[in-house]
Amino acid sequence: MRLDEAYFGLLGAAVGLVGMLAVARGLGLAVPDPQPTLAVLTVSGTFLLWRGVILLSAGAFYLYGATEGLEDPSMRARVFMASLMIWIVAGVDLLGRLLGAIPGGADRWVASGSEILAAMGPPYSPAVLAAPLVLAALAYRSQGGSP
């Protein structure tokens, strides 16, 4: 087994599981928030169901790519697509946090640096935590379609 297949296989399992958790919580099932046990992770917020569906799909794409073999360019493209999905969710999540933290309210136009930094601190959504881990998929960009 190739190293990248093992890596994305494990990542796919983890992302898929968290996606399932998000879908369950998004549907209103009484699943506890993992935040108390994992201080940096939170599975909550708006549009949780949709974010869960995206994570679950991305996890499935990673697993499928890893099991079918990443020497196949179409499987690498599938892994790249899953990573794009995670970057989209993570990107808008971080952007929302940042833009929500910058205005300083009625007294001043811009919040202090420490306030903005605090807003950007943990806990993070699963997509934000997964985003740097899936940067490895960028390697497939330079390899193009050739095996």
Partner 1 sequence: MSQSPTVLLMGHPNVGKSALFNRLAGASISESNYAGTTVEYTESQLALDDGTVPIVDVPGTFSLEPKDRAEAVAVEFLEDASDPIVVCVVDATRIERGLNLVVELLDRGYGAVVALNMWDEARQQGVDVDAETLSDLLGVPVIPTVATEGVGVDDLQSTLDGAQSSSLAAIRERLPPDGSDLGGVADGSGLDGPVDGSNPAARWDLVDAIVESAVTYRETAPSLADHLGRLTVAPKTGLPFAVAVLYGLWAFFSAVAGFFTDGYFVPLFDDHWLPWIQTAFPGEGGWLYFLLVGDPAATNSFEAFGVLTSGLFVAIGVVLPAILALYLVLALLEDSGYMARLAVLLDAAFHRIGLHGYAIVPMVLSFGCNVPGVAATRTLETDKQRFLTMTLLSVFIPCGAQLGVMMSLIPQYTGYILLYLLAGFFVFGAILNRLVPGSSPEVAVDIPPLRQPRLANVGTKLSLRLRGFMTSAVPFVLAGVGVVNLLYLGGAVDWLATALGPVLSGWFGVPQETVPALIAGFMRKDLAIAQLSAISMSPFQTVMSVVMVSIYFPCVATFAMLIKEGRTSGGVLRVVGGALATLVAALFLWGGLLRLGGTLLGVA
Q: In the complex, which residues of this chain contact partner 1 (CB under 8 A)? A: 47, 50-51, 53-54, 57-58, 61, 73-74, 76-78, 80-81, 84-85, 88-89, 91-93, 95-96, 99-100, 102-103, 105-106, 109, 140-141, 143-146
Q: How far is the CB of 141 from partner 1 (least distance, A)?
A: 6
Q: Which is nearer to partner 1, 38 or 130 (CB)?
A: 130
What whole-number distance in Å separates Cα of residue 7 and Cα of residue 9?
A: 5
User: Amino acid letter at 19?
Assistant: G
Could you give the angle at the alpha carbon of 128 between the alpha carbons of 111 and 47, nearest 5°?
85
| Contact criterion met (CB below 8 Å) for 125 and 51 | yes
Q: How far is the CB of 35 from partner 1 (least distance, A)?
A: 21
What whole-number distance in Å separates Cα of residue 140 and Cα of residue 28?
A: 38
Q: Which is nearer to partner 1, 36 or 144 (CB)?
A: 144
DSSP line for 92-142: HHHHHHHHHHSB-TTT-SB--HHHHHHHTSS-B-HHHHHHHHGGGGGHHHH
Q: How far is the CB of 14 from partner 1 (least distance, A)?
A: 18
Q: Which is nearer to partner 1, 37 or 146 (CB)?
A: 146
Q: How far is the CB of 109 from partner 1 (least distance, A)?
A: 7
Q: Which is nearer to partner 1, 14 or 94 (CB)?
A: 94
Of 92, 63, 73, 79, nearest to 135 by C-alpha is 79
